[in-house]
């Protein structure tokens, strides 16, 4: 369970990005954070892997408070899927998926030498799971289409068996048909592993179709919290 307690964020330039956000997200939930650009979705998600340091409130994962002492351990339980995929474009597809293990690779070791045959098998199995043809394994990630790159991004995210996956506008740069395929894939992969997903979206129709729950945000505040059916009733 992820618990946000009265979380607030004021950026150094004075921008108020989050105000008094309190939420409990149970293990295994696919929680969509819905709102327009600038609502604070990305800021909220980034609190969960320590990329954003809140200025007020507390964040706990399974009862452990996120702070300087626990940050390193907690980050290893959280993976991220990005809007712009964030692959290393010159690296192979397989290399990108293996790089999902980097949070546990001790510094200074030769990167590729560290991966075991078991790691490689796991990377291949995940790529197969996300529907990427094995022929693509040795291709450079930059040669793939956007939809294929996001499949690689999903495989990389699940490489460490995370308890939490943060998906920050994962389909904002993909067309609608591919967007549905990608969201379905994230949801299924998460269900199989009981992974909690926090997924930011700005499209109402996708939020209603894929969310177990919708948290609506505007100007850094939670303005709706309920099921997709309740969300529809409100309009």
Q: Which residues bind ligand ADP (CB under 6 A)?
A: 11, 13, 15, 17, 35, 37-43, 83-84, 200
Minimum separation from the CB atom of position 51 to ligand ADP (A)? 8
Minimum separation from the CB atom of position 84 to ligand ADP (A)? 6
Minimum separation from the CB atom of position 204 to ligand ADP (A)? 14
SS (H, E, C) 36-82: CCCCCHHHHHHHCCCCCCCCEEEEEECCEECCCCCHHHHHCCEEEEC
Nearer to ligand ADP, 35 or 211 (CB): 35
Minimum separation from the CB atom of position 128 to ligand ADP (A)? 29
Give me the sheet containing 56-61, strands edge to edge. 16-25, 2-10, 56-61, 64-65
Minimum separation from the CB atom of position 116 to ligand ADP (A)? 33
Nearer to ligand ADP, 92 or 203 (CB): 203
Nearer to ligand ADP, 46 or 136 (CB): 46
Are 158 and 189 within 8 A, CB to CB?
A: yes
Nearer to ligand ADP, 37 or 106 (CB): 37
The two structure tokens encoding residue 214: 């919708």
DSSP 8-state assignment for residue 106: P
Which residue has the CB atom at the shortest distance from ligand ADP? 42
Nearer to ligand ADP, 149 or 200 (CB): 200
Nearer to ligand ADP, 163 or 168 (CB): 168
Best CA proximity match to 187, nearest among 207, 169, 157, 211: 211
What is the helix, strand, coil percentage profile of the chain, to 5?
40, 25, 35
Distance CA 50, CA 12 (A): 17
Query: Coil, strand, or helix at residue 116?
Result: coil
Minimum separation from the CB atom of position 15 to ligand ADP (A)? 4
Which residues touch 132 (CB under 8 Å, ≥6 apart)? 93, 148, 151, 152, 155
């Amino acid at each position: 369970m992820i618990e946000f307690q009265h979380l607030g964020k004021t950026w150094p330039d004075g921008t108020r990005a989050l105000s008094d956000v309190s939420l409990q997200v149970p293990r295994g939930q696919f929680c969509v954070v819905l709102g327009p650009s600038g609502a604070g979705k990305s800021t909220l998600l980034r609190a969960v892997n320590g990329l954003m340091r809140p200025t007020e409130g507390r964040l706990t994962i399974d009862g452990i408070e996120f702070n300087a002492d626990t940050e390193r351990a907690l980050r290893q339980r959280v993976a991220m899927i990005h809007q712009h995929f964030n692959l290393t474009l010159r690296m192979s597809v397989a290399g990108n998926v293996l790089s999902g293990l980097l949070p546990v690779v001790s510094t200074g070791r030769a990167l590729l030498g560290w991966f075991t045959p078991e790691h490689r098998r796991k990377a291949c199995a995940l790529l197969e799971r996300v529907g990427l043809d094995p022929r693509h394994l040795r291709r450079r990630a930059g040669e793939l289409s956007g939809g294929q790159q996001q499949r690689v991004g999903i495989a990389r995210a699940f490489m460490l068996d995370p308890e939490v996956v943060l998906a920050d506008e994962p389909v904002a740069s993909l067309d609608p048909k591919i967007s549905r395929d990608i969201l379905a894939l994230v949801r299924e992969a998460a269900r199989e592993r009981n992974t909690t997903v926090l997924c930011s979206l700005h499209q109402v129709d996708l939020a209603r179709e894929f969310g177990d729950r919708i948290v609506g945000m505007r100007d850094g505040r939670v303005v709706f919290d309920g099921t997709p059916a309740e969300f529809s009733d409100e309009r």
